[in-house]
């Protein structure tokens, strides 16, 4: 029986008076990959950022309802704790430009004032880079800056930085939209490996990508969660006409 790791209950998000996410209820099982699709401006990224309370960082942004992580309301947790448990990777690779590859991986520990012995830091760096299939490519260049890497490698470095904190959930906001096809393929292969240890929630505009990497797909339209189902079912037999219209390209 699948266990739920993330659950939203009547979740609403606002930018000032603009109601951008409307009464979203969803249950996300542990160790699955969820694709979140929908046209631009439909609320999917705002919902994603609400899961680890990054929505609130935007001036004038507010939220109502609940986001539960293992049954506990993240709205009642310290935001830093939430973001340790729910890591996030953004659209464009954003390694810290002045830090080495090594220091990029363990940046979360330093930023949170967590002091570790060097042997433990070394182990975290090697383990995290191995998890994202980057260790063999960079093990002799750990003192070089993260910006020395290619775009695809930088994105994997950012994933390693998130993985290093041992989160339970990883959020991805269009993580391959700035990458070339070969790098995109490498990151997509990585998703299949990461799912063994984490729950992945991926916002993507790319329907082919959603079909390739996800177990289930959520379709958002005008701030509402229209449909949430197994990805194969969603693409072959959507229940809602709006989902069908989106998938068949009648609106984008």
Secondary structure in 3-state letters for 116-131:
CCHHHHHHHHHHHHHH
Beta bridge partners, 62, equal 14
Query: Which residues in 83-116 are b (16+ Cβ under 10 Å) and which e?
Result: bbbbbbbeeebebbeebbbbbbbbbbbeeeeeee
Give the global pTM: 0.95
What does each C-alpha distance from 129 to 18, 27, 35, 84, 161 come to in angstroms?
41, 30, 24, 18, 9
pLDDT digits over 6-32, tens only?
999 999 999 999 999 999 999 999 999
Q: Which tokens is 251 given? A: 């609106």
Query: Which pLDDT belongs to residue 197?
Result: 94
Q: Which tokens is 81 given? A: 């704790």
Low-confidence ranges of the chain (pLDDT < 50): 1
Query: Which pLDDT belongs to residue 141?
Result: 96
Query: Which pLDDT belongs to residue 2?
Result: 65
CATH code: domain 4-247 is 3.40.50.300
Task: Decide: 35 and 202 in contact? Cβ < 8 Å.
Answer: yes
191-198: which pairs have CB atoms within 8 A and are 24 or more residues apart? Answer: 191/33, 192/33, 193/131, 193/133, 194/131, 194/132, 194/159, 194/163, 194/170, 195/31, 195/32, 195/33, 196/31, 197/31, 197/131, 198/31, 198/163, 198/167, 198/168, 198/169, 198/170
Helix spans in 101-195 (H): 101-105, 107-111, 118-131, 135-138, 151-163, 181-194
Helix spans in 59-117 (H): 79-85, 101-105, 107-111
Q: Please count the other Cβ atoms lying within 10 Å of the Cβ belonging to residue 200.
A: 24
Query: Which pLDDT belongs to residue 252?
Result: 57
Query: Which pLDDT belongs to residue 1?
Result: 47
Task: Decide: 54 and 23 in contact? Cβ < 8 Å.
Answer: no
Q: Which tokens is 246 given? A: 């989106």
Beta bridge partners, 33, equal 200
H or E stretch covering 165: none
């Amino acid at each position: 029986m699948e266990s739920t790791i993330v659950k939203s209950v009547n979740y609403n998000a606002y930018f000032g008076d603009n109601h951008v996410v409307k009464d979203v209820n969803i249950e996300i099982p542990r160790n699955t990959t969820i694709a979140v699709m929908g046209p631009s401006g439909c609320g999917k990224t705002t919902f994603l950022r609400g899961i680890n309370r990054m929505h609130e960082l935007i001036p004038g942004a507010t939220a109502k309802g609940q986001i539960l992580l293992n049954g506990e309301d993240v709205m009642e947790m310290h935001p830093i704790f939430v973001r340790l448990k729910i890591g996030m990777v953004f659209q464009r690779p954003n390694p810290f430009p002045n830090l080495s590859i090594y220091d990029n991986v363990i940046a979360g520990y330093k930023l949170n004032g967590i002091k570790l012995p060097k042997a433990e830091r070394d182990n975290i760096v090697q383990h995290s880079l191995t998890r994202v299939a980057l260790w063999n490519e960079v093990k002799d260049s750990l003192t070089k800056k993260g910006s020395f890497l290619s775009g695809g490698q930088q994105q994997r470095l950012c994933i390693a930085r998130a993985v290093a904190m041992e989160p339970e959930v990883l959020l991805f906001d269009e993580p391959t939209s700035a990458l070339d096809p070969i790098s995109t393929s490498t990151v997509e292969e990585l998703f299949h490996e990461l799912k063994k240890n984490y729950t992945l929630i991926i916002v993507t505009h790319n329907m082919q990508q959603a079909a390739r990497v996800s177990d289930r797909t959520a379709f958002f339209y005008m701030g509402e969660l229209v449909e949430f189902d197994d990805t194969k079912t969603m693409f072959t037999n959507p229940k809602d006409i709006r989902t069908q219209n989106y998938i068949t390209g009648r609106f984008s």
